């Protein structure tokens, strides 16, 4: 990252999602030029054009699909210039019951939330490590803190991504590069549309975006959005297994 603590050039992976768009706009308002990546060229162009008009920053568009065999790592290796910051907000909630019935549905959730993003972030990490600077931020989920009957396929994938980011942070600690893990709780987005969400515990994409930008600037390690989720998930993790098996949460 630039020595004056400006974030510099930022890559947003999954930029056409509600949270991705909010993060991109938040970074642009900080004065960052942007590289937006996603798999829908038309939507990506629309988002890029909107951000250019709103903020005046330079924005480039990049095709990327984490469902490719390399998880999109080819993009990470080809980007020129290499970004100072990369934020991965790629994800898919899926349907738990469908995942239980259909292995291909479960595989899609697992690949979209863990395998693809991990391969992509790993490729970016190699470039950041070689350069000796930069911040990688991965948006995981509180769902990964403990497997629960209602969403354990999604939760298991997010748990894998959380563990991957933790290991990557440990690996890069001496290199000058840094890794941030962001764990939102409920967020009102297209992905959660139609779900009954608890108002006091439910955030907005803009709230996640503010947390991400602050975490990048401060080089935080693990951030919960909202903060109350740290205490909630600690309590859930501490429930003894013999009691936890009786719960449906």
Assess whether 152 carries a catalytic annotation: no
Listed residue (33, 60, 31) closest to 48, CA to CA: 60
Yes or no: say if 110 and 67 are a contact pair by the CB < 8 Å rule: no
Classify strands 34-38 and 10-13 as parallel, antiparallel or unpaired: parallel
- Non-local (6+) Cβ contacts of 83 within 8 A are 8, 9, 10, 11, 35, 134
| Annotated catalytic residue within 114, 152, 154, 224 | 154
Residue position matching structure tokens 């903020």: 55
Per-residue 3-state assignment (H helix, E strand, C coil) for 185-234? CEECCHHHCCCCCCHHHEECHHHHHHHHHHHHHHCCCEEEECCHHHHHHH
Listed residue (179, 173, 176, 191) closest to 216, CA to CA: 179
Element (H, E) at 101: helix 96-101
Find the length of the chain.
Answer: 249
Burial 154-175 (b: 16+ CB within 10 A, else e): bbbbbbbbbebbbebbeebeee
Structure tokens at 220: 């935080």
Catalytic residues: 154
């Amino acid at each position: 990252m630039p020595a004056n603590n400006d974030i510099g050039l930022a890559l947003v992976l999954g930029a056409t999602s509600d949270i991705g768009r909010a993060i991109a706009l938040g970074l642009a308002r900080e004065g960052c030029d942007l590289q937006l990546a996603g798999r829908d060229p038309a939507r990506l162009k629309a988002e890029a054009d909107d951000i250019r008009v709103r903020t005046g920053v330079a924005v480039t568009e990049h095709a990327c699909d984490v469902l490719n065999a390399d998880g999109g790592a080819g993009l990470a290796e080809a980007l020129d210039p290499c970004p100072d910051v990369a934020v991965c907000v790629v994800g898919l909630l899926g349907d738990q019951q469908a995942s239980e019935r259909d292995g291909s549905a479960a595989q899609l959730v697992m690949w979209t939330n863990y395998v693809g993003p991990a391969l992509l972030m790993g490729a970016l990490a190699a470039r950041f490590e070689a350069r000796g600077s930069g911040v990688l931020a991965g948006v995981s989920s509180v769902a990964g803190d403990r497997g629960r009957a209602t969403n354990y396929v999604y939760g298991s994938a997010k748990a894998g991504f959380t563990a991957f980011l933790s290991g990557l942070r440990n690996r890069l600690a001496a290199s000058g590069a840094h890794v941030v893990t962001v764990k939102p709780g409920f967020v009102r987005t297209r992905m959660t549309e139609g779900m009954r969400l608890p108002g006091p515990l439910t955030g907005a994409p803009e709230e996640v975006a503010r947390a991400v930008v602050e975490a990048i600037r401060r080089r935080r390690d693990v951030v919960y959005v909202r903060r109350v989720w740290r205490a909630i998930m600690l309590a859930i993790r501490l429930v003894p297994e013999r009691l936890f098996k009786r719960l449906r949460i």
